[in-house]
Copies of this chain bind each other. A is one copy, B any other.
Amino acid sequence: MKVRNLVSKRYKETPADCIIASQTLMMRGGYIKPVGNGIFTLLPITKRITAKIENIIRQEMNRIDGQEVLFPVVMPADLWRKSGRYDSIGSELLRFSDRSGADMVLGMTHEEAAVQLMTDVADSYTQYPFMIYQIQTKFRDEPRCRGGLIRVREFTMKDAYSFHTSQEDLERYYMRCYEAYNRIYARCGVPEVVAVASDSGMMGGKVSHEYMLLTDVGEDTIVLCRSCDYRANMEAAPCLIENEPGQAAPLEKVDTPNVKTIEDLCAFLKIRPQQTCKAVMYQRNADDSFVVVFLRGDLDVNETKLRNYLRAEIHPAVITEASGIHAGFTGPLGLPEGVTVIYDRSLEGIEWFATGACEEDKHYIGFNIARDVGQVTYVDVAKAVEGGICPVCGKPHIYTSRGIEVGNIFQLGTRYTESMDMTYVDQDGSLKHPIMGCYGIGVGRLAASVCEAHRDDYGPIWPISIAPWHVEICSLRADQPEVAEASQKLYDSLTARGIEVLWDDRAVSAGVMFSDADLFGVPVRVVISPKGLKNGTIEIASRDKSMKEIKPVEEAEDFVVNYVKDALAALECTL
């Protein structure tokens, strides 16, 4: 492929709304073009990358006995009504009517379709276990699209569904898939992707993992341990901390005029946030009823854990005068009737703290829940914090990092097979619901994440396994016959040996040619110039700057082929 024929255009300027580096580079390099909010066309250079990623995914899915199918993008709403998700999922699920007025949805995931497909087909225990997968377009009506292909509304996803007759079998297969995912990321050139325990969210099921590419621009917060392998998504991480019980003292109501925040309270009383109890107010979406969470003053509420505990959608409370709540002065005593009260585990065993008195400009000091409230249930609804205790090794070595989710795996259990009544006949003749797992990877997001992780200021540095081409030939002064001839010869011989070559023979300056090459991010760059040829040499360098060689013209071909083959083999890929 010659650069002059490539359907794409490079830009010097950063487009206005780019917020992260990979987005900037992919826009400037002519990789993607926005069509609508969170909707992109992939230009040829990106399609070449995603095709290679899809191929690696396909190989690894086949290796763990996956069978590829193709589910529809458009599905009848009835399928989603059966599982209950038509009503339980919000407006991310795009709903519409077809010409006959039938309710339809755009697939954002395909558990329902997988169960519909296998019902009546996998009806005997002898057919289990099995896994089916697809690589298909999905649509999720995302309210906050951002970062180019990182968070979009339409995307290509590999989604896989496994079916089992026992939890043990699911767990065995789950581990095979867990390893397959590690291989996929390693082969795509991002072995730094880590699996973290996660919250299962709308998918149902209990055990689940997210694969995270750790990077500052990630949307997710990951909780990790410096002393062991513990890793979890913030949404799922327990908050374990060392409590300081303090010294019990009589309960005392004190004047705290206009002292509404923990910061103000600590300054006013000359105490530390750990000696206070914070109140955070929410309302249930369904009926606007109030929920108050009490937790140690230095902590924050983990809303995912709170939602899971309440089994209800919530939003931050809007406090009106009529509510009888004194914002800034809320505490465990004196709340209006009907407020759901939740005590976070961080308050357990504390003998002395300051908290609101449910009166304007008043706080309590010396509050002691066991004494002043009585027996309460403590729940874990706080966010894990830096220096917290690791739930695995027990050391106070928790820290946090940002990450982009590039895949996830779930143990679904019988959530879907029960609600949609899929059964099989077991060995003993009884009817049972199969146990499911599901496994997803967003292809476009993975491509963008690799770019985010592997780049410099001038462009992406594509791992050779997913690079759009293996080699770029830059012919400086291709108008000179000896340059044109040597370039053509190398292009032809490399191509004949299966190397994918991008060839730039445009009549542009070396500066333009090299800055374009940086944006293409092709792993191996070959420079053929009048000066080099005069010395009988060709320059060969890697995009990541780890290799730069001046080779005699006649050795260049073999050198490049071997370099490419070795680099591919290191990622378990071949020509």
Residues of A participating in the B interface, judged by any CB pair closer than 8 Å:
4-9, 30, 33, 35-37, 39-44, 46-48, 50-51, 65, 67-76, 79, 91-92, 94, 96-100, 102, 104, 106, 113, 116-118, 120-122, 126, 130, 132, 136-137, 139, 141, 143, 153-154, 156
Contacts and interface: CB of A to CB of B under 8 A. Distances in A.
Contacts of A6: 67
A153 B44 contact: no
Contacts of A33: 116-117, 121
B40 A98 contact: no
Contact of A39 (B30, B35, B74): B74
A41 B154 contact: no
A502 to B, nearest CB: 12
A75 to B, nearest CB: 6
A153 B74 contact: yes
B7 A67 contact: yes
Contacts of A46: 70
A154 B91 contact: no
B71 A41 contact: yes
A37 B99 CA distance: 12
A4 B122 CA distance: 11
5 contacts: A41-B71, A41-B72, A46-B70, A47-B69, A50-B70
Q: What's the number of copies of this chain in the assembled complex?
A: 2
Contacts of A9: 120-121
Contacts of A73: 73, 137, 139, 154
Nearest to A47: B68
Name the prevailing secondary structure of the A interface residues.
Answer: mixed
A120 to B, nearest CB: 8
Contacts of A141: 98-99
A330 to B, nearest CB: 34
Nearest to A1: B67
A7 B114 CA distance: 12
B116 A35 contact: yes
Nearest to A75: B35
Query: Which of A40, A92, A94: most chain B CB closer than 10 A?
Result: A94
Contacts of A122: 7
A436 to B, nearest CB: 14
Nearest to A79: B35
B91 A99 contact: yes
Nearest to A131: B7
Query: Which of A6, A37, A39, A120: most chain B CB closer than 10 A?
Result: A39
A121 B11 CA distance: 10
Nearest to A142: B99
A35 B37 CA distance: 29
Contacts of A137: 73, 136-137
Given A33-B116, A39-B75, A73-B137, 9 more contacts: A8-B121, A9-B121, A35-B72, A36-B102, A44-B68, A46-B70, A47-B68, A74-B139, A136-B137
Contacts of A91: 99
A96 B99 contact: no
A7 B47 contact: no
B47 A154 contact: no
B70 A41 contact: yes
A12 to B, nearest CB: 15
A161 B194 CA distance: 41
A283 to B, nearest CB: 21
Given A47-B70, A70-B41, A35 B121 contact: no
Contacts of A43: 69, 117
B74 A7 contact: no
B76 A5 contact: no
Contacts of A92: 99
A154 B5 contact: no
A159 B72 CA distance: 19
A154 B122 CA distance: 25
4 pairs of A and B residues whose beta carbons are closest in the complex: A96-B96, A44-B67, A36-B76, A42-B70
